[in-house]
Amino acid sequence: MSAATNGVNGKGKLLEVNDLKMHFPITKGIVFQRQVGAIKAVDGVSFDLYSGETLGLVGESGCGKSTTGRAILQLYRPTDGQVVFEGKDLVQTKGEELRRMRRRMQMIFQDPYASLNPRMTVGSIVGEPLDVHGIGSSRKERQERVQELLKIVGLNPYFVNRYPHEFSGGQRQRIGVARALAVNPSFIVADEPISALDVSIQAQVINLMEDLQEELGLTYLFIAHDLSVVRHISDRIAVMYLGKIVELADRDELYRNPMHPYTQALLSAVPIPDPKIENQRKRIILEGDVPSPANPPKGCNFCTRCPRVMDICREQEPTFKDYGDGHYAACFLHE
Amino acid sequence: MTTATTQIRLGAEAPKKTRTLWQNAARHILRDKLTLAALLVLGLMTLLCVLGPPVVENVLELDVNRTSIPDKFLAPGAAGHILGTDHLGRDQLIRLLYGGRVSLAIAYSASVMTILIGVALGLIAGYYGGRVDDLITWVVTTLSSVPTLFLLLIAAAFWTPSAELLIVILALLGWVGTCRLVRGEVLSLKEQEYIAAAQAVGVPNFRLLVHHILPNVLPIVIVTMTIIAGNLILVESGLSFLGVGVQAPTPSWGNMLTDSRSYFNIGTHLVIWPGVLIMVTVLCFYLVGDGLRDALDPRSSWRLAE
């Protein structure tokens, strides 16, 4: 199912991100603080998300994947740009109105140990969204809903009165999923939901997420750095580098025909489980380090490490364009 | 995987009984003998000082302010004076009880006031940040550069230092430490993922502060409060020594100790009793604080249970 057919099939656009920027100020001085610069964690990200699909967001550590996810959910207030969710620009939404919008969008966090309050029981963690949004008419009804949610994520409903520390990482992540599902959201940002888990548990959580998507019609923004996992779960994949999306395409198209040199380098790093092919495989090894997001290079962000860099790359910024069939890329090689 | 959505039949067994944080803490303390003992000693001491004086006055026919020079420096066990008398012939037992009232009142009231002000402002400063934080931090920094001792000396020059005045001054100057501590805790808690998770769920600010942040700073606050209470008893005796504490004839453990230091060789019991009471009380406060810290941590409640 390609992105284009997604739209054509009558599946509506759920989320539209336009030129999203999240700059964190760098300040100096103790009493009189002045801004001396900004960490451009996310610097002009645009993409659409269609109902029921999974968009994978990949990139190396520190490229702004998580920040993008959090800025979309307004956990960080973006510096600039639009996040249109179900027809409403979240960046312009504030206070009580934004709080009510949270019923529709949720997040699954990376660290199942840090994302559950150690002083709350599982019941109150999963039940809190019901409480604060006034879902369910009575306490008893809410308790029943909590037990039902625990069952949905494959936990024993009698765990309600236990504390998070009594659970394993995988179980804790299921609690996190149950909390996200409590309000019946349509959209979930999954911020590296499995990278903190054992490999044996990763598949369980991925399968759970897929089952839930099928049953509840969820839309995921799946943030990860594990390319094989992303390939497995995503319909479309966006590749980020230093605060920008450099390429976005249908999953199979991206793996078959990566256009951006960074994507090519990333994909060349995925090992192939066949020694003969593996031996002949050519890896593209990138030189140097990622530049600081406080001081990104002039021109294309990737020009300092690109194996196929041209003069124009150091002068101008490439535009993020559709090269046909929903395959977007930002690279002068193809312009 | 299909097990993830398999329906599990409800109602077969009941869920584990709900226990709140406080019920867990109570169970924990019941097993922690040292803390329990310290708590009992403190409770008993408080009870005796609050309810004891009228009873003792009636039974032994004493008056806390009655002096009788012929009866001065009576040793403990003398007729009618179980713990002996001081340099003015006043009964030591009843003075210790009244003195305990004053000393404990200072310890309890000033520490509670300190904590209430400090926690409230620390939470606000740490959580809301920005201008509010700047203002509170500025007040904290300014207040902590006020030399407490000299302020008390000046206050003593204007008003007769009473227990009430001491409580107010000590609380108004003492909250800055708690405020700074709580602010720091909140700043680090705020960055925890579960706070972001609560925000993502749509928990309103006030509820977030009360349900998520406060319970996580509470243990450290309670430990601080007991240590502050212990310290206040020491501060009160220190101030008495400088003459700016509670003034005679109102007894406090601090001024009783100060008064008796000149008669150490004649009336040893006059030094030992208030001294021991101060030491035991302060120690008990510290022990209770230590025990509560363990008791209020849900991760330690099962450690003892195993």
**pLDDT, tens only, A178-230:** 999 898 899 999 998 888 888 888 888 899 899 999 988 899 999 988 888 89
Amino acid A16: pLDDT: 92
- B227, B237 contact by CB (below 8 A): no
Do A222 and A277 share a domain, yes or no? yes
Put simply, the answer to whether A157 touches B212 (Cβ < 8 Å) is no
Sequence-distant (≥ 6) Cβ neighbours of residue A15 within 8 angstroms: A48, A49, A72, A83, A84, A85, A187, A219, A221
Question: Which is more confident, B11 or B137?
Answer: B137
Whichever domain contains A313, its CATH number is 3.40.50.300
From chain B, pick out residues whose CB is under 8 angstroms from the CB of A147: 10, 15
φ and ψ of A85, to 5 deg: -120, 125
Residue A83 and residue A32 in one domain:
yes
Closest CA relative to residue A175, chosen from A141, A129, A217: A129
Q: Does residue A294 share a domain with residue A208?
A: yes
Report if residue A241 sits inside a domain.
yes
Quote the distance between the C-alpha of residue A85 and its chain's center. Answer: 15
Quickly state the pLDDT bin for B298 (edges 50, 70, 90).
low
Residue showing tokens 């009576």:
B74
Strand order in the sheet with A80-85: A34-50, A13-28, A80-85, A88-89
Interatomic CA distance for residues B294 and B21, integer angstroms = 12
Q: What angle do CA B295, B298, B299 make, to 5 degrees?
A: 105
Q: Is B265 on the interface with A (CB under 8 A)?
A: no
Q: Look up the domain containing A243 and give its range.
A: 3-104+186-334
Give dist(CA B31, CA B285) in Å, integer: 18
- A8/A145 same-domain check: no
Question: B4: which chain A residues are within 8 Å (Cβ-Cβ)?
Answer: 153-154, 204, 207-208, 211-212
Q: What is the pLDDT of residue A7?
A: 44
| Residue carrying structure tokens 């504030």 | A94
Q: How far is CA B49 from CA A204, B3, B111, B253, in A?
A: 63, 64, 18, 12
Does residue B84 have a pLDDT over 90? no
- Label residue B249 by pLDDT band (50, 70, 90): confident
Q: How many residues make up chain B in this entry? A: 306
Residue A9 has pLDDT above 70, yes or no: no
Helix, strand or coil, per DSSP, at residue A284: coil
Better pLDDT: B60 or A81: A81
**Position with higher pLDDT, B60 vs A12:** A12
For an interface test with A, give the residue of B134, B188, B201 to mutate (most A CBs within 10 A).
B201
Q: List CB contacts (< 8 A) between A90 and chain B.
A: none
Name the token pair of A199. Answer: 């490999």
SS3 B146: coil
Q: Would you say residue A6 has pLDDT above 60?
A: no
Calpha distance A56→A60 (Å, rounded): 13
Give the torsion sign (CA, B142, B147, B150, B155): positive
The whole-number pLDDT of residue B299 equals: 62
B82 near B59, Cβ under 8 Å? no
Contacts of range A193-198, beta carbons closer than 8 Å, 24 or more positions apart: A193/A108, A193/A109, A193/A110, A193/A222, A194/A224, A194/A226, A194/A229, A195/A110, A195/A224, A195/A225, A195/A226, A196/A110, A196/A111, A196/A112, A196/A113, A196/A169, A197/A112, A197/A169, A197/A170, A197/A173, A198/A169, A198/A170
Contact with chain A for residue B203, Cβ under 8 A: yes
Cα distance between residue B273 and residue B103, in whole Å: 14
**A222 and A273 part of one domain:** yes
Q: What is the pLDDT of residue A334?
A: 83
Decide which of A184, A210, A234 is a domain's last residue.
A184
Instruction: Using an 8 Å CB-CB cutoff, list chain B residues near A102.
Output: 200-202
Q: How many independent structural domains does chain A possess?
A: 2
Judgement on whether residues A306 and A207 belong to the same structural domain of the protein: yes
> B188: Cβ–Cβ under 8 A, 6 or more apart, which residues?
none
For residue B56, what pLDDT band results from cuts at 50, 70 and 90?
confident
Band (pLDDT 50/70/90 cuts) for residue A2 is very low
Mean pLDDT of chain A: 87
- Residue B170 per-residue DSSP state: H
Mean pLDDT of A278-307: 86
User: Quick one: pLDDT band at residue B18, thresholds 50, 70, 90?
Assistant: low
In percent, how much of chain B has pLDDT > 70?
89
Q: Reduced to 3 states, what is the DSSP secondary structure of residue B28?
A: helix
Mean pLDDT of A59-74: 90
pLDDT at position B115: 92
Give a yes or no: residue A114 inside a domain: no
Q: Using the beta-carbon criterion (under 8 Å), do B193 and A114 form an inter-chain contact?
A: yes
Please give the radius of gyration of chain A, using alpha carbons only, rounded to the nearest integer.
21
User: At B84, phi and psi to the nearest 5?
Assistant: 80, -175
Q: How far B37 CA lies from chain A's nearest CA (Å)?
A: 27
Supply A317's token pair: 């910024």
- Compute the distance between CA of residue B264 and CA of residue B257 in angstroms, rounded to an integer: 10
Per DSSP, the three-state class of A236 is strand
Per-residue confidence at B300, pLDDT binned at 50, 70, 90?
Answer: low
Residue B3 is predicted with a pLDDT of 46
Q: Using the 3D structure, point to which of A168, A184, A200 is the last residue of a domain.
A: A184
Using the Cβ of B306 and the Cβ atoms of chain A, whether some distance falls under 8 Å is answered with no
In a domain, A20, yes or no: yes
| Residue that terminates a domain, selected from A184, A199, A222 | A184
Is there a single domain that holds both residue A207 and residue A169? Answer: no
Q: Are residues A223 and A296 in the same domain?
A: yes
* Shortest Cα distance, chain A CAs vs residue B198, angstroms: 8
The helix/strand/coil state of A23 is strand
With cut-offs at 50, 70 and 90, classify the pLDDT of residue B16.
low
Question: Predicted confidence band at B262 (pLDDT cuts at 50, 70, 90)?
Answer: confident
Q: What is the mean pLDDT of residues A108-132?
A: 89
- Indicate whether A111 belongs to any domain: no
Is pLDDT above 50 for A261? yes
Stretch among A4-18, A93-107, B119-133 having the lowest mean pLDDT: A4-18
Would you tell me which residues 145-184 of chain A have a C-beta closer than 8 angstroms to some C-beta of chain B? 147, 151-154, 156-163, 165-166, 176, 179, 182-183
Q: What is the pLDDT of residue B296?
A: 76
Give A80's DSSP letter.
E
